[in-house]
Structure 1
């Protein structure tokens, strides 16, 4: 029997677009999507910092349906490019025996903040100075390449106190929830409106050996406030969503998820949207603690008096 052949499809985009592109590519490829971010090393002993563009790629099996799938993929990428310009997709054919090696060879650990390292599931961390967060990169729900995820992780590292409970609203891949447990949270409630995100969160929690500390479920703010889950309030709340959603949630009681003296980390906010989010947080009685900026994105920390 002839070995299967694969067509690699790849685009090089910035971190902001990487997950949207991965979502599109993942609809038409087998075995998931890979996101590779360059890491700059300052010297031989440097642990590196992520920078620059992200290469997003996946593999399509070469068969009689290939041209039809490729045409649909190109059409989907064209629609995405109408929102934000994209480079053309590149294609190259590879033999089956190179398949798994090609898939894995590109994926590199991403250092974030002072303490964390995001790893693909199959790599063991050799840097004992950093805490490993293992993520299955075949799920494009937050693999650590997006500036908003990196901002949230860096702020989480600074503001989480050991033993605190945490609520993660819009948990995606579960990357923030897993990091919270590994940084010392006693337990985490992770919610998302997407069933696939909850499945991804549970799978990634299992990869990291933290299933017992993370309670996850489909839902959002309303379900938390009515007591549907194990937590209604927490000393630390994470909301890495989009600015308009954060603003709407403040009107629906987002500040009520904080215990007295509790902090909320807000991300997913473009620079020009930050003043509106800040005004909303202050209108609901929260006090400004910190602002962190990466590229065009802003992470905010507020505290309940």
Structure 2
């Protein structure tokens, strides 16, 4: 046995303080999950910056990883005492054996078919269809591996929209997957912006891996530079704040814009925010997410 895993139920108010207290007692890590995950009572958490929410799950499961020789029962007792909480008497302690974590992580990512001609393929996999347009990616810390509905929505929109020789700007590029896809679909100039240095580095690495020339940066392009296609797959609150900056990148008289990272119930508000610059409509829906698109007049 390499480690021990402590698991118990608590409420949303106590879960995070208990995680902190367990870490102070000596736990190697502590996390919170929805105790009702994968059941009809599951509670999705869609909070984002600037959006007031009540975070956490009323039935929360705390998981704490501890050394093999740690007294995890004493850890839990002391954590409850430190927080003046009633002692938790129902819990489980299970062994965690040493494993090939790299292999386990890689096993979670299989090739993803986006369309008849577009695939996302982890670098350690052979492509199921070598003749297809294959986006080779290493899932890392940057957002965008193709598994999320918003990424799929944007890729499907790009496949319908990109024309040979057009230019594209990816606002909030993450892993660079959308810009890389645009290049492989025929765009001649692709650029991307992200405020996260790790995302920019990941996007540059992924572009090299795909033999794509792309300009990924922390900085916005010059004011005079406009693009035939602009895509932004971020979250609704940043999309609201950044509306003037994003729309300014779209070429007048025909430039196209697609936005995602938007929940179905947020769509009408985002459409209204962008109305002074571009008339948007719902282009597609996947699960609870939408992709909005429009053309600049």
Q: TM-score if structure 2 supplies the norm length?
A: 0.68
Query: Offset at 1:188?
Result: 0.7
3-state SS of paired residue (2:204): helix
The whole-number CA distance in structure 2 between the counterparts of 1:159 and 1:268 is 19
Long gaps (5+) in structure 1:
9-64
Q: Which has the larger radius of gyration?
A: 2
- CA 1:255–1:99 in 2, change beyond 3 Å: closer, same or farther? closer
Work out whether 1:302 is the aligned partner of 2:294: yes
Partner of 1:217: 217
Work out whether 1:235 is the aligned partner of 2:232: no
The whole-number CA distance in structure 1 between the counterparts of 2:217 and 2:3 is 36
Partner of 1:141: 143
CA deviation vs aligned residue, 1:142-171 (integer Å, no higher than 9, x gap): 211211111111111111111111001000
The whole-number CA distance in structure 1 between the counterparts of 2:105 and 2:177 is 21
Aligned length: 232
**Counterpart selection for 2:27 from 54, 68, 75:** 68
Partner of 2:242: 249
The whole-number CA distance in structure 1 between the counterparts of 2:118 and 2:101 is 29
**Counterpart selection for 1:261 from 242, 251, 254:** 254
Partner of 1:280: 273
The whole-number CA distance in structure 2 between the counterparts of 1:75 and 1:287 is 41
Partner of 1:27: none
Q: TM-score if structure 1 supplies the norm length?
A: 0.66
Q: Which has the higher strand share?
A: 1
- CA 1:147–1:87 in 2, change beyond 3 Å: closer, same or farther? farther
CA deviation vs aligned residue, 1:190-210 (integer Å, no higher than 9, x gap): 110111110110111122111
Asked if structure 1 preserves the Cα contact closer than 8 Å seen for 2:120 and 2:136, the reply is yes
Partner of 2:96: 93
The whole-number CA distance in structure 2 between the counterparts of 1:150 and 1:83 is 27
Partner of 1:207: 209
The whole-number CA distance in structure 2 between the counterparts of 1:271 and 1:204 is 31
